[in-house]
Amino acid sequence: MRANPWSLGVAAVVAAFALATLAFWIPADIESGVVETFRRRTTIGDALAPTVVTVCMLAVAGLFAATELLRPRRESAPPDRQSLIFVVRVAAAIALGLALMVYTGPLTVDAINAAGGEIGSYRQLRDTFPYKYLGYLIGGTVMVGGIVAVVEQRLTRSAAAAAVLATFILMAMYDLPFDDILLPPNGDQ
Amino acid sequence: MGILDHVWLGVVAVFTEAPIASVFGLPISITVVMVVLGFLGGIVVGAAPGLGGPFAMAISLPILITIFGFNPDALLPVLGFMIGIMKGATVGGAVPAILFNTPGTPDSLMTTLDGFPMTKKGEAGKALRVAHFSSASGDTFSDLVLFTCAPFLAIAVEAYLDFPEKAALIVLSLAFISAVVGDSVWKGLLSALFGMFFAYIGTGEDNHPRLSFGSDALASGLPLIGVVLGVLILGEVFKALEDMWREKRATDAIAAPPESGDNRLRLRDIRRIAPFVGLSAFIGTMIGALPGIGSTLAATLGYATGRKLHKGDVPFGEGTPEGVAATEAANSAVSGANLIPVLSLGIPGNVAAVFIILATETISGFNPGPAVFRLVPDQINSEMVIAFGLFTAMVFANLLNWTIGGVFMRSMGVMVRIPKQRLLPIVLLLTLTAIYVQRPEMLAIYIALFFGFVGYLMRKLNFSVLPFVIGFILANNLEEAVRQAFSATGSDPWFLLSSPISIAFMLLAALVVVFFSRGSGKPSRR
């Protein structure tokens, strides 16, 4: 049996990551060394633990690759083109849901202000009804409904209704009993 | 104050502190209510295919912390709820396995082998009763071992292990978990090493937060709850969704065959299954006490041992109660024993223990480890009181299991009808909301999603996620122990080899890795 290309690929990526980390990241992004001596007292610096862990990664990646070459084994279901399609679709559903979650509230408030409503900024309204629910309800529904549609490979009315209902229940579960909780994305505003 | 005083204070804390109602003049404490709710909720979740105890613990932890706050008074209600979920989910997992040939959790896979054939023969009621009796027995036995062993092990650790030995013990635990979980030692080690590496981002003692790319978002380190929930829960959700997307399997409701004949659990049935329950409870407890080895292996070993022992008319695999008993007693016996390494060493050995550690780290006031059982003359050790309170909550949950658990469990067949492909996206949104509630910034959600993708990728590449999570949790403890050991030994660079015990631990760590790396085709034990 030939060595599994996925296993060799993983070992190569890990080894490259470890070498780059040792050569560039650790020296550039850690101020203290592996050990520090101050007034004749030697202590362990912040670089020791990440350096040891990265050196171990490099060694284990080498042993992993060697084992795979000497005693290859079959992976049960490695990622393939179908996995990539699935990841892209689910990521799109999540990204769309999150974008709607973040921007629906502020854009609605801006639109009302632009129409002469003079209701103030979203930051001022982020804990008031109905503005505090807009982003979560619409974004959450699209996220849940979108993922269900991806998995079921069609969008049904019952799935859409379940997404609305589930998001509504989650919203009520967090917001109604607790005064000091902010639903996403209101904590950032 | 002696040990018994602390035991009594623990019992009192569970049953009398913060009463929220009274029945016949007896106060009903919040901890008691939380154990009951957790236990019943655990059975419901365990009975839902595709979910399980870790899902429920992950989702409920941020909600509970929001309700109870970050003060030590929150510890017993929150931990009580988690314990309830842990025990309830173990019992509930047998329901879909027996009624619908669909294991609710990986642990109950072996339960389908005899449970579903019994259902097909019209003995579903008896199979469920056998599963409940065996599960409750295994769980009770395991808890008794925990109560007896954990304090003594902790006292021994505290008496004999100094900083170098504690550092070496963490190295040994990480090596052991990496070696025994999953199908390759090297993959397990890489998983643990990456977990440790991520834990070092933004932490350290220097003024400059290390490895943070100068980013303010990373300067305080990666959020524990975001990383753990991302890898453990979101990664599993993504993988399960992809499996369903690939299979496009029918989601029509299924019905269990009707019951016929005597479905009660008689004394003669109990006598028949007792040896299998006893043996499997012992196997499950031994397996559970070792960090990293899960209940799936315990169930497999319990079933295999039971099959060798069995001499009845109906062979294993064709619908014999002994088969159900052997599996359920073994996988349930793991849950209590799994807490032995947590409470005595501070080292989480499985996913449920990870959430117990997560709860205690978030709330503060209780640091699982050997110091918990340290006696201070003329003083109350509040951590020991919490530990005995936890034991009391476990005993109370066992009582619930013996009394109402069976009836409630047998009514949960309906859970299998919930379509998993609609439940999991809701779990995803619930998890993201729970993470945001704890840290109200979208960055926390993005970090959790990133680690969800990492968890998904690890599962696709057959990397076990448990070493990653445990490496992430223990990395800073290990670094702290190493710093203190280095300092205490007068900057001796060979401090890990400074005593016979630490040398033994380091040698064992190397031996474990060498031993498990020899088998190239060992089966997955996740």
Do residue B475 and residue A32 have CB atoms under 8 angstroms apart? no
Q: With contact defined as beta carbons under 8 Å apart, do B326 and B131 qualify?
A: no
Count other C-beta atoms under 10 Å from residue B246's C-beta: 13
Q: Does A77 touch chain B (CB under 8 A)?
A: yes
Mean pLDDT of B410-427: 81
User: Residue B254 has what pLDDT?
Assistant: 47
Look at residue B525 and tell me whether its pLDDT is greater than 50: no
Q: Which are the contacts of B508, defined by CB distance < 8 A and separation ≥ 6?
A: B172
Our CA-based measurement puts residue B280 at a distance from the nearest CA of chain A, in whole angstroms, of 30
- Any idea how long chain B is? 526
Look at residue B526 and tell me whether its pLDDT is greater than 70: no
Last residue of a domain, one of A15, A36, A70: A70
Q: pLDDT tens digit string along A147-159?
A: 999 998 888 899 9
Look at residue B253 and tell me whether its pLDDT is greater than 50: no
Mean pLDDT of B387-392: 92
Q: Is residue A135 part of a domain?
A: yes
Q: Is residue A21 part of a domain?
A: yes
Our CA-based measurement puts residue B217 at a distance from the nearest CA of chain A, in whole angstroms, of 13
Of B212, B422, B482, the CB nearest to A148: B422
Specify which residues B26 forms β-bridges with: B23
Q: Which are the contacts of B311, defined by CB distance < 8 A and separation ≥ 6?
A: none
pLDDT: which is higher, B405 or A77? B405
Do residue A184 and residue B190 have CB atoms under 8 angstroms apart? no
Do residue A75 and residue B441 have CB atoms under 8 angstroms apart? no
Q: Does B475 touch chain A (CB under 8 A)?
A: yes
In angstroms, the Cα distances linking B98 to B130, B240, B267, B411 are 11, 22, 22, 13
Task: List for chain B the helix, strand, coil content (%; round to 5).
Answer: 75, 0, 25
Task: Determine the structural domain holding residue A94 and report its residue range.
Answer: 81-175
User: Residue B231 has what pLDDT?
Assistant: 93
Q: Are residues A63 and A88 in the same domain?
A: no
Last residue of a domain, one of A23, A44, A70: A70
Q: Are residues A91 and A64 in the same domain?
A: no
For A56-90, the three-class secondary structure string (H helix, E strand, C coil) is HHHHHHHHHHHHHHHCCCCCCCCCCHHHHHHHHHH
Q: Is residue A186 part of a domain?
A: no
CA distance A26 to A22: 6
Q: With contact defined as beta carbons under 8 Å apart, do A87 and A79 qualify?
A: no
Q: Does A55 touch chain B (CB under 8 A)?
A: no
| DSSP state string for B210-262 | TTSTT-HHHHT---HHHHHHIIIIIHHHHHHHHHHHHH--------PPPP-S-
Last residue of a domain, one of A44, A70, A96: A70
Look at residue B251 and tell me whether its pLDDT is greater than 60: no
Our CA-based measurement puts residue B48 at a distance from the nearest CA of chain A, in whole angstroms, of 17
Q: Is residue A87 part of a domain?
A: yes
Q: With contact defined as beta carbons under 8 Å apart, do B426 and A165 qualify?
A: no
Q: Are residues A105 and A166 in the same domain?
A: yes
Identify all chain B residues contacting A162, using CB atoms and an 8 Å cutoff.
Answer: 422
Q: Are residues A93 and A162 in the same domain?
A: yes
Average pLDDT, chain B: 86
Positive or negative: CA dihedral B186, B188, B190, B192: negative
User: Residue B166 has what pLDDT?
Assistant: 87
Q: Does B212 touch chain A (CB under 8 A)?
A: yes
Chain A residue with minimum CA distance to B478:
A49
When scoring B247, B418, B422 by the number of chain A Cβ atoms within 10 A, the one with the most, hence best to mutate, is B422
Q: pLDDT tens digit string along B140-187?
A: 999 999 988 888 888 888 788 888 998 998 999 899 888 887 778 999
Q: Does A26 touch chain B (CB under 8 A)?
A: yes
User: Residue B248 has what pLDDT?
Assistant: 67
Q: Are residues A64 and A112 in the same domain?
A: no
Q: Are residues A90 and A29 in the same domain?
A: no
Residue among B353, B336, B331, B349 nearest B393 (CA): B336
Q: Are residues A115 and A50 in the same domain?
A: no
Q: Does B21 touch chain A (CB under 8 A)?
A: no
Of B205, B421, B445, the CB nearest to A151: B421
Look at residue B520 and tell me whether its pLDDT is greater than 50: no
Q: pLDDT tens digit string along B10-42?
A: 999 999 888 888 787 788 899 999 999 999 999
Q: Does A42 touch chain B (CB under 8 A)?
A: yes
Q: Does A47 touch chain B (CB under 8 A)?
A: yes
Q: pLDDT tens digit string along B227-237?
A: 998 998 899 89
User: Residue B273 has what pLDDT?
Assistant: 92
CA distance B128 to A33: 61
Q: Does B425 touch chain A (CB under 8 A)?
A: yes
Do residue A90 and residue B521 have CB atoms under 8 angstroms apart? no
Look at residue B252 and tell me whether its pLDDT is greater than 60: no
Q: Are residues A94 and A160 in the same domain?
A: yes
Do residue A178 and residue B67 have CB atoms under 8 angstroms apart? yes
Chain B residue with minimum CA distance to A97:
B429
Q: Are residues A85 and A170 in the same domain?
A: yes
Cβ neighbourhood burial of A63 (10 Å; 0-12, 13-18, 19+): middle
Q: Are residues A19 and A99 in the same domain?
A: no
Q: Does A41 touch chain B (CB under 8 A)?
A: yes
Q: Are residues A30 and A96 in the same domain?
A: no
**Segment (H or E) for A35:** strand A35-38
Q: Which are the contacts of B66, defined by CB distance < 8 A and separation ≥ 6?
A: A174, A178, A181, B437, B438
Mean pLDDT of B348-369: 84
Specify which residues B29 forms β-bridges with: B19
Domain boundaries, chain B: 3-249+262-518
When scoring A31, A34, A46, A127 by the number of chain B Cβ atoms within 10 A, the one with the most, hence best to mutate, is A46
Identify all chain A residues contacting B187, using CB atoms and an 8 Å cutoff.
Answer: 64
Q: Are residues A47 and A11 in the same domain?
A: yes
Of B194, B210, B520, the CB nearest to A73: B520
Q: Is residue A160 part of a domain?
A: yes
User: What residue type is B65 in one-letter code?
Assistant: I
Q: With contact defined as beta carbons under 8 Å apart, do B466 and B351 qualify?
A: yes
User: Residue B104 has what pLDDT?
Assistant: 63
Write out residues 83-122 of A within 8 Å (CB-CB) of B.
Answer: 83, 86-87, 90, 94, 98, 102
Binning pLDDT at 50, 70 and 90, where does residue A97 land?
Answer: very high
ipTM (interface predicted TM): 0.94
User: Residue B29 has what pLDDT?
Assistant: 92
Look at residue B113 and tell me whether its pLDDT is greater than 80: yes
Q: Is residue A113 part of a domain?
A: yes
Q: Which are the contacts of A8, defined by CB distance < 8 A and separation ≥ 6?
A: A65, A68, A69
Chain B residue with minimum CA distance to A137:
B429
pLDDT: which is higher, B451 or B163? B451
The total number of structural domains in chain A stands at 2
Our CA-based measurement puts residue B118 at a distance from the nearest CA of chain A, in whole angstroms, of 32
Binning pLDDT at 50, 70 and 90, where does residue B265 land?
Answer: confident
User: Residue A143 has what pLDDT?
Assistant: 97
Q: With contact defined as beta carbons under 8 Å apart, do B280 and B134 qualify?
A: yes
Average pLDDT, chain A: 90
Q: Is residue A156 part of a domain?
A: yes
Chain A residue with minimum CA distance to B59:
A170
Q: How many CB pairs under 8 A join A and B?
A: 173
Identify all chain A residues contacting B461, using CB atoms and an 8 Å cutoff.
Answer: 6, 10, 75, 78-79
Mean pLDDT of B409-421: 78
Do residue B242 and residue A83 have CB atoms under 8 angstroms apart? yes
Q: What percent of chain B has a predicted confidence (pLDDT) above 90?
A: 37
Do residue B461 and residue A6 have CB atoms under 8 angstroms apart? yes
Residue B440: cis peptide before it, omega within 30 degrees of 0: no
Q: Is residue A89 part of a domain?
A: yes
User: Residue B4 has what pLDDT?
Assistant: 87
